[in-house]
């Protein structure tokens, strides 16, 4: 993160709405990519197709994060599974410039390591977001919903 902690804090404080969300998502993905390299996982999140292992997780994701999604699809792939994990490790990140940002970034790195180790996230009352990253060779079979 070339901005440093103070520069990142300033950028987080200056942004709002979609711009803020894009900045936070960028920090998350960069951090996850750095930890992926340390974990020796072959392909990163940005070079993979993300699928859920249960229809319930698909439905919940659409409801919570993609209400304008065009549908839920069944796909086939070339058999190269890149990584199984849980999207909760990605979704739980909130970067608050008014809070202890270095501690939040350390928590983000710990979450990224847990993601790449495929650790189960802390239990909640909700079903898990069981996510699989696949190679980019995916074919849509049909729309399920």
Domain residues for the domain of 31 are 4-143
Give me 20's structure tokens.
């803020």
How far is residue 62's CA from residue 39's CA, in Å, rounded to a whole number? 29
Per-residue pLDDT tens digits for 60-72: 888 988 888 888 9
Give me 102's structure tokens.
């270095």
Assess whether pLDDT exceeds 60 at residue 1.
Answer: no
| Cα maximum dimension of the chain | 48
Domain count for the chain? 1
What integer best gives the mean pLDDT of the chain? 88
Q: Which residues contact 79 (CB under 8 A, 6 or more apart)?
A: none
Give this prediction's pTM.
0.84
Per-residue pLDDT tens digits for 79-136: 777 788 998 898 888 889 899 999 999 999 999 999 999 999 987 766 778 888 888 8
Picking from 79, 83, 82, the residue whose alpha carbon sits closest to that of residue 114 is 83
Pick the range with the lowest mean pLDDT from 23-27, 31-35, 46-50.
46-50
Percent of the chain with pLDDT over 70: 97
Q: How many other β-carbons are positioned within 10 Å of the β-carbon of residue 40?
A: 7
């Amino acid at each position: 993160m070339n901005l440093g902690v103070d520069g990142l804090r300033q950028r987080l404080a200056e942004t709002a709405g979609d711009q803020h969300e894009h900045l936070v998502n960028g920090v998350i993905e960069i951090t996850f990519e750095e930890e992926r390299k340390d974990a020796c996982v072959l392909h990163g999140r940005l070079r993979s197709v993300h699928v859920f292992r249960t229809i319930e997780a698909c439905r919940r994701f659409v409801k919570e994060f993609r209400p304008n999604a065009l549908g839920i699809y069944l796909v086939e792939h070339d058999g190269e599974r890149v990584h199984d994990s849980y999207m909760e490790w990605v979704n739980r990140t909130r970067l608050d410039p008014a809070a202890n940002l270095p501690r939040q970034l350390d928590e983000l790195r710990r979450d990224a390591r847990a993601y790449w180790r495929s650790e189960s996230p802390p239990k909640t009352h909700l079903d898990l977001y069981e996510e699989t990253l696949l190679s980019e060779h995916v074919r849509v079979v049909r729309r399920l919903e």
